[in-house]
Amino acid sequence: MLDFTFQLPTRIIFGRNRLEKIGGEIKKNANRVLLVYGGGSIIRSGLYDRIIEMLKDNGIFFAELSGVQPNPRIDSVRQGVELCRKHDLEMILAVCGGSVIDCGKVIAAAYYYDGDPWDFFTRNTRVTRALPIGAVLTIAATGSEMNGNAVINNDETKEKLGLFHPLLYPRFSLLDPTLTFTVPADQTAAGSADIMSHIFEQYFSPTPGTYVQDRMAEAMLKTCIHYSPIAIEEPDHYEARANLLWTSTLALNGLLSAGKATDWATHMIQHEVSALYDVTHGLGLAILTPHWMQYVLNEDTLPKFVQYARNVWQVTAADDGQAAREGIDKTAQFFVSLGLADRLSEVGVEENQIEEIARKATAYGSLGRMKKLDAGDVANILKAAY
Amino acid sequence: MLDFTFQLPTRIIFGRNRLEKIGGEIKKNANRVLLVYGGGSIIRSGLYDRIIEMLKDNGIFFAELSGVQPNPRIDSVRQGVELCRKHDLEMILAVCGGSVIDCGKVIAAAYYYDGDPWDFFTRNTRVTRALPIGAVLTIAATGSEMNGNAVINNDETKEKLGLFHPLLYPRFSLLDPTLTFTVPADQTAAGSADIMSHIFEQYFSPTPGTYVQDRMAEAMLKTCIHYSPIAIEEPDHYEARANLLWTSTLALNGLLSAGKATDWATHMIQHEVSALYDVTHGLGLAILTPHWMQYVLNEDTLPKFVQYARNVWQVTAADDGQAAREGIDKTAQFFVSLGLADRLSEVGVEENQIEEIARKATAYGSLGRMKKLDAGDVANILKAAY
């Protein structure tokens, strides 16, 4: 186990009908907020009206930034910063999924920076201050509700880059499983693949002696495997939605990475796919993950894959190599069983772009910790997944 | 799953040789501290000298409260408050195990209260303010390093009572596994029983649909079962000590109780045993737990015990009743295998005091959630464990 520091300053408010709670949480921080959201889904579901009512009941002034896209654009960040400055806003309230929260986080930091917000991602500047952030989650997937991460797309440079800063932890996040009842089957499936991928990126690690972290990761993987089919079959199954929502938060709040080197190669590759083709993040991960597993499976990494197969999938094969392969096959079959595509060719990726994706994914160096991947390795994984 | 709120404001600093880190952490909060510790173990191990040096290097003024006992006494709290007032101290630095941290927490709150600190426990007053608290842990057991709980003994009233307040979370806790290398075998065993009991109290719950919490609890139980014998056999086994130490913190920081009703009957009974006989807390829990399990096992609670037996102990018996009993037997055998006594008669408890212990344990009402226990039930459990 490696040395680590660990702290979770975000206040999670979890459960049914607790929206009225957050008026007080906001007023601890601000009287003027930027309401950030995505498309029409929160309007259709009635959540938008309930939030507006809650803000008005609490006498909170607000301006709106709508239309934040999945794979959020740096342009939305720029617009948000302008609105905050124009209206002297004091806090960000992000409503929706991870893309909206990520966008809100970068607006919060960029408010205090005179240059262009993309500078945070190119490392031309660092976060030094940020407006407080609150989140209302409507999909189980991202983990952004209880961490300091943000990932943003730049259409001009065709890049998708990430940022972490402790100031970007939301002050509070409302997790109401009933708000996820309206998430359609394909998005529920992609969200589950995203959660599981977050767990894999931390579980598959070369750091020895991380027994408690690994058993907790397996606990969360089993939860996803158990409840994802139920949530797809029965969208208003509270228990399934609650377990998936809480697991999505626990899977990326630092609990599973404390004391470990983590991999993140699959995410880095997927980011480049999404930057070029706007593939749903979780869907891209579902396609790539089994091929990443197969590619990095070797003599050194075998024990971890055997442990995964036996503990998560109850694989009983006596031969270690066979057990590991069965675990990987079951992973791929599980994603397909959720209705997710299993080929990059099915989601619009062009074969002649594979080398370019591989080149961009490794532009800042090789990827991964389980096995270091260079551009050639990444291209091989992409071809296998094509 | 029940509704919940969850937040972990304590900053955990985990790893080897990170003592020099905490000078800066203290100075964020204070320049004058009360150093609280127990007996001579931190002097013998050299930790005391290292802490004094660190305080001096950082120009931090300190006064000392030593001799805080396991099952800490309200008298120590009174002394601590007096020292803080006399020397205008601004922070508590607790060094040792949970007893010392608990004592430090109550000093921190009582500093701002004019009456007697025992009033917090009799509910005659409430915590409204507290000095900041920092902790340096030297044993894996308590969980007090990352929660707002404190338990204190009152020798005059022969009571042991608990308190929770969000203001009592330490600002930081240093968890250095090497500081636990010198914990002797019997204390290591009792500490592990304490951790496991914390997990049991939250795992055995009547709340349905807490799948992810239950799988995480099993993950932590397996960690204790795997590493406790190793740490006893090989006291300076870093991996074993690190996993036990981190598990002790995770087991009682709210992660396992989020969304659940929790039991705590065994702890309440043990507190009365300790209040009368000063039995080591974890040892008392190890003796009582299997008998509590046997007593509350019935048709309603059977499924949970079957789940426990199969998932934690890999019991394969097809019959549910038999599986549950095997799980309980394995629990008892495990504690004995760690060298712990398994009878109250072996640790000085007098048989003629059983009714009195049962009466006091239920003085504020019946105990437990898995099965409600009145004084008669508690006496039955104590007799079975005698």
CATH of residue B372's domain is: 1.20.1090.10
Choose one of A179, A198, A228: the last residue of a domain: A179
What CATH number corresponds to the domain at position A78?
Answer: 3.40.50.1970
Q: How confident is the model at residue A159 (pLDDT cuts 50, 70, 90)?
A: confident
Same domain, B113 and B29: yes
Same domain, A55 and A145: yes
Same domain, B109 and B136: yes
Same domain, A31 and A141: yes
DSSP H helices, B130-262, are 185-203, 211-233, 238-250
Cβ-defined contact of A246 to B226 (cutoff 8 Å): no
In this predicted structure, what is the pLDDT of residue B377? 98
Which residue in the set A3, A9, A242 is minimally distant from B209, CB to CB? Answer: A242
In this predicted structure, what is the pLDDT of residue B253? 97
User: Does residue B345 lie in a domain region?
Assistant: yes
Residues in chain B with CB shorter than 8 Å from the CB of A223 are: 211-212, 215
Instruction: Give residue-wise pLDDT tens across range A261-272.
Output: 999 999 999 999
Which residue in the set B6, B220, B238 is minimally distant from A212, CB to CB? Answer: B220
Q: How far apart are CA A134 and CA B309, in angstroms?
A: 42
User: Does residue A246 lie in a domain region?
Assistant: yes
Same domain, A323 and A363: yes
Strand pairing of A91-96 and A61-65? Answer: unpaired
pLDDT for A359 beyond 90: yes
Q: How far apart are CA A247 and CA A243, in angstroms?
A: 6
CB contact at 8 A, A35 and A63 = yes
Residue to test with chain A: of B215, B223, B307, B310, most A Cβ within 10 A: B215
**Percent share of chain B, pLDDT over 70:** 100
Same domain, A168 and A273: no
Residues in chain A with CB shorter than 8 Å from the CB of B207 are: none
Cβ-defined contact of B12 to A7 (cutoff 8 Å): yes
**Percent share of chain A, pLDDT over 70:** 100
Cβ-defined contact of A12 to B6 (cutoff 8 Å): yes
Choose one of A123, A153, A179: the last residue of a domain: A179
In this predicted structure, what is the pLDDT of residue B60? 97
Among chain B, residues having any CB pair with chain A shorter than 8 Å are 1-16, 18, 208-209, 211-212, 215-216, 218-220, 222-223, 226-227, 238-239, 242-243, 246-247, 250, 255, 258-259
Choose one of A125, A158, A179: the last residue of a domain: A179
Query: Which parts of chain B have pLDDT scores under 50?
Result: none
Range of the domain at A211: 183-384
CA-based torsion, A302, A306, A307, A313: positive or negative: positive
Residue to test with chain B: of A4, A18, A28, A211, most B Cβ within 10 A: A211
Cβ-defined contact of B8 to A13 (cutoff 8 Å): no
Higher pLDDT: A19 or A313? It is: A313
User: Does residue A299 lie in a domain region?
Assistant: yes
Cβ-defined contact of A223 to B242 (cutoff 8 Å): no
In this predicted structure, what is the pLDDT of residue B77? 97
Its pTM stands at: 0.96
Instruction: Give residue-wise pLDDT tens across range A44-103.
Output: 999 999 999 999 999 999 999 999 988 889 999 999 999 999 999 999 999 988 899 999
Cα atoms found within 13 Å of the Cα of residue A59, Cβ hemisphere only: 1
Instruction: Give residue-wise pLDDT tens across range A283-297.
Output: 999 999 999 999 999
Among chain A, residues having any CB pair with chain B shorter than 8 Å are 1-16, 18, 208-209, 211-212, 215-216, 218-220, 222-223, 226-227, 238-239, 242-243, 246-247, 250, 255, 258-259
Q: How confident is the model at residue A5 (pLDDT cuts 50, 70, 90)?
A: very high
In this predicted structure, what is the pLDDT of residue B21? 83
Cβ-defined contact of A9 to B9 (cutoff 8 Å): yes
Q: Which helix (H) or strand (E) holds A35?
A: strand A32-37
Residues in chain A with CB shorter than 8 Å from the CB of B6 are: 11-12, 14
Cβ-defined contact of B212 to A9 (cutoff 8 Å): no
Same domain, B227 and B124: no
Give this complex's ipTM.
Answer: 0.96
Which residue in the set A3, A7, A242 is minimally distant from B15, CB to CB? Answer: A3
Which residue in the set A9, A223, A242 is minimally distant from B215, CB to CB? Answer: A223
Same domain, B269 and B234: yes
Same domain, A161 and A270: no
User: Does residue A6 lie in a domain region?
Assistant: no
DSSP H helices, B254-298, are 265-277, 281-296
pLDDT for A314 beyond 90: yes
User: Does residue B4 lie in a domain region?
Assistant: no
Tokens of A295: 């590619």
Q: How far apart are CA A253 and CA A267, in angstroms?
A: 16
Q: How far apart are CA B363 and CA B386, in angstroms?
A: 21
In this predicted structure, what is the pLDDT of residue A71? 81
In this predicted structure, what is the pLDDT of residue B96? 87
Give chain B's domain count.
2
Residues in chain B with CB shorter than 8 Å from the CB of A219 are: 212, 215-216, 218-219
> How buried is A21 (Cβ within 10 angstroms: 0-12 exposed, 13-18 middle, 19+ buried)?
middle
In this predicted structure, what is the pLDDT of residue A286? 98
Which residue in the set B3, B8, B218 is minimally distant from A219, CB to CB? Answer: B218
User: Does residue B324 lie in a domain region?
Assistant: yes
CB contact at 8 A, A360 and A272 = yes
Min CA distance, A362 vs chain B (Å)? Answer: 32
Q: How confident is the model at residue A20 (pLDDT cuts 50, 70, 90)?
A: confident
In this predicted structure, what is the pLDDT of residue B250? 98
Burial A343-365, CB ≥16 within 10 A → b, else e = ebeebebeeebbeebbebbbeee
User: Does residue A128 lie in a domain region?
Assistant: yes
For chain B, where are the E strands, in sequence order? 4-14, 32-37, 61-65, 91-96, 133-137, 149-154, 159-164, 172-175
Tokens of B184: 């002797």
Amino acid identity at B22: I
CB contact at 8 A, A376 and A358 = yes
Tokens of A197: 């991928």
Q: How far apart are CA B126 and CA B100, in angstroms?
A: 21
Report the chain B residue with the minimal C-alpha distance to residue A312: B215
Ramachandran angles phi, psi of B86, nearest 5°: -60, -40
Same domain, B122 and B254: no
Instruction: Give residue-wise pLDDT tens across range A83-93.
Output: 999 999 999 99
Q: How confident is the model at residue A107 (pLDDT cuts 50, 70, 90)?
A: very high
In this predicted structure, what is the pLDDT of residue A373? 98
In this predicted structure, what is the pLDDT of residue B277? 87
Same domain, B336 and B379: yes
CB contact at 8 A, A137 and A245 = yes
In this predicted structure, what is the pLDDT of residue A41? 87
Residues in chain B with CB shorter than 8 Å from the CB of A247 are: 212
In this predicted structure, what is the pLDDT of residue B6? 97
Cβ-defined contact of B7 to A3 (cutoff 8 Å): no
In this predicted structure, what is the pLDDT of residue A241? 98
Same domain, B131 and B259: no
Cβ-defined contact of B9 to A7 (cutoff 8 Å): yes
User: Does residue A2 lie in a domain region?
Assistant: no
Which positions ≥6 away from B346 have C-beta within 8 Å? none
Residues in chain B with CB shorter than 8 Å from the CB of A18 are: 3
